[in-house]
A and B are shown apart, each in its own frame.
Chain A
Amino acid sequence: GAVVSQHPSWVICKSGTSVKIECRSLDFQATTMFWYRQFPKQSLMLMATSNEGSKATYEQGVEKDKFLINHASLTLSTLTVTSAHPEDSSFYICSARGPGRRTVGTDTQYFGPGTRLTVL
């Protein structure tokens, strides 16, 4: 249980184009999803928190108009990188947290497999 999928697993695009990445919770409903970015040999950096039915909360320094997040249902959140540039090339990872997945005391985040974005 607690499986999170991402699509696509990798994508190559030209500079200036937009790319959409999907994050789905397959066997549970996720009221909250998170989007992270990870550059080579670095740790994950939280980009934004996505709550179903409301606007996403972006971390400081993350451009909300460039990284559009939509959490239209309890099982799907999308991240759209608009007008992508080579510096946006990175590994994008989503995670999902939902009700009823309590382990010891907190709602554990379950991560997707990641999406490798390469902007030429």
Chain B
Amino acid sequence: DAGITQSPRHKVTETGTPVTLRCHQTENHRYMYWYRQDPGHGLRLIHYSYGVKDTDKGEVSDGYSVSRSKTEDFLLTLESATSSQTSVYFCAISTGQGRQPQHFGDGTRLSIL
């Protein structure tokens, strides 16, 4: 267990509402990531962080923002949710050599109606 907790695990909300997903790690790993998983697309990187207040965009960052004010927490925000953002969201961390993610959380299933 790499000590990754995602919250909430499930959420249903309406188009146009703001949504924030939280990823919490119990160890002081530097690299954290947010991915979305959709049928037929595999996983796609939304944003990642390489330290407190240090973040960068992935391949599908439009409509999403992130913040990392503490090492252990990485927040993903949908400022105004759209139906195309219905997906399963995974947080991941890099725990060892190399900056690629080694461990993923159990996911947040988000439905935008």
Q: A and B: real partners?
A: no
B interface residue numbers (CB < 8 A to A): none
A interface residue numbers (CB < 8 A to B): none
